[in-house]
Structure formats: C-alpha cells, structure tokens
Amino acid sequence: DAGITQSPRYKITETGRQVTLMCHQTWSHSYMFWYRQDLGHGLRLIYYSAAADITDKGEVPDGYVVSRSKTENFPLTLESATRSQTSVYFCASSESDGRWYEQYFGPGTRLTVT
Amino acid sequence: GQQLNQSPQSMFIQEGEDVSMNCTSSSIFNTWLWYKQDPGEGPVLLIALYKAGELTSNGRLTAQFGITRKDSFLNISASIPSDVGIYFCAGQLKYGQNFVFGPGTRLSVLP
C-alpha cells in the first residue's frame, strides 16, 4: 500500500518557470493539504482541500495555485517560480470524520529555484 | 499569524537519558499535536491532546496539555538512537481551524 506519495522528490527550476508538484494518496481521504517547510518557520500551510473541487487558502497562498479534480490527487503549481519559493514542500491527507486533524504526510519535495 | 515557540531549539543527549521539551504560545489553544520528523521524511503524528491538563502516553513518549492551554510538553524516557529527529508541536486555536506548527526541536542522541 503506497499511502501518500509526492513527485518529484527533488526539483531544480529557474526563476519565472512554472512548476507543478504532484501529490497522490491511496486512502480516499477527504482532506488534503500542502505545506512548505523552511528553517526556523516549521511547517506553514499553503492550501488545503476538504473534498474534490473544494479548495481554500492557508497561511501563505500567494504565488501558488491548486486544483483537486479527483479525490486522490492534489497538485500544487507555482505559476512563476521565485527564489523565495525554494523550500521543502509536504503534502498531507486526513480523514473526514472527527479525526480530520490527524494528518499523514508524504515524504516531501525539495524544490530549488535558481 | 499565530506563533508557537519551541524550546530548546536543539539538544544533544546521551543514550538512555530522559528528554523534555516544550511548546508555548501567547494564545489559548484547544488541541495540541506532537509530530516527529526523521531526516528526509515527512512528519509522523506521535500524540494528540484535546483538553487542558490531559496527559497522554505513546510508549516511551508522554505529552501533556498545559493547564493554561497556552503550552504543551513532551517527554521521552530512556532515549535510544532512533529517537533522533525533529519534534514539532502543532496547535489549533478553534475547532475546525487549521493547525499552526512550531519551528521544531532537533534531538540528537549520542551513543
């Protein structure tokens, strides 16, 4: 059982390029989340989704776009990458019942913007 | 936005020692979570706390929801090498809101 996977695991891109990070979960969890992790900041929520076709902004959404056409996928797109978006990105998912806050994280994507 | 502080930022201990770390905020939280992140991996949930004063254990780990609701504590007893990693706290201000994460405590265990 794959659980939650992210691809690519590592990505180097240039400033101004569009890049999409993929997240796939096999549990049929309703909730999915995108976080970025930077030194000294812990994890900061970018976007989240409560179900297919329902998305909402988190703490740091600027410069990012998400979509969720299928329950199992939640791609994150950087429309025009900037150096400040160099970070480690984590996707997470959780169930829709009373334990929705118990989030299961993917292995992360390390993105470098040059 | 809301901010959580974790202390210490990092710690080096000998194998077999007990470990204590804490998470504090200026705001009142109604749920606290503790996660561990191994190098190169995503965080894994260790313990969830739901009410003030609650004490919950998970093996050698024990966490407490502070009485003031502005802090939480994590203790690890008899540390072993696989305890190495970064420990994050996360707090939820109101039910249904998203969680705020602390910056983490990095634990190193010396053999």
Q: Summarize pLDDT for B17-72 with one digit per residue, the tens.
A: 999 999 999 999 989 999 999 988 999 999 999 999 999 999 999 999 999 999 99
- Which residue shows structure tokens 């429309």? A79
Q: Is the CB of B104 inside 8 Å of chain A's CB atoms?
A: yes
Interchain CB distance below 8 Å, A40 and B4: no
Task: Supply the DSSP symbol for B23.
Answer: E
B88 and chain A: CB distance < 8 Å anywhere?
Answer: yes
H or E element: which one contains A18? none
CA-closest candidate to residue A43, choices B75, B57, B71, B36: B36
- Quick one: closest CA in B to A10, which residue? B40
Neighbours of A34 (CB within 10 A): 27
Instruction: Compute the half-sphere exposure of residue B110: CA atoms within 13 Å on the CB side of its CA.
Output: 4
Rounded CA separation A26/A36 (Å):
22
CB contact under 8 A, A92 and B42: yes
Residues contacting B77, CB < 8 A, separation 6+ = B18, B19, B60, B61, B62
Q: Which of residues 21-50 of B touch A (CB under 8 A)?
A: 31, 33, 40-45, 48
Chain A residue with Cα closest to B42: A107
User: pLDDT, tens digit, for every residue of A43-74?
Assistant: 999 999 989 999 999 989 999 999 999 999 99
A23-42 pLDDT tens trace: 999 998 999 999 999 987 78
Answer yes or no: is pLDDT of A98 > 80.
no
All residues of chain A having their beta carbon less than 8 Å from the beta carbon of residue B100 are 59
d(Cα B92, Cα B29) in Å, to the nearest integer? Answer: 5
Cis status of the peptide bond prior to B111, with omega within 30 of 0: no
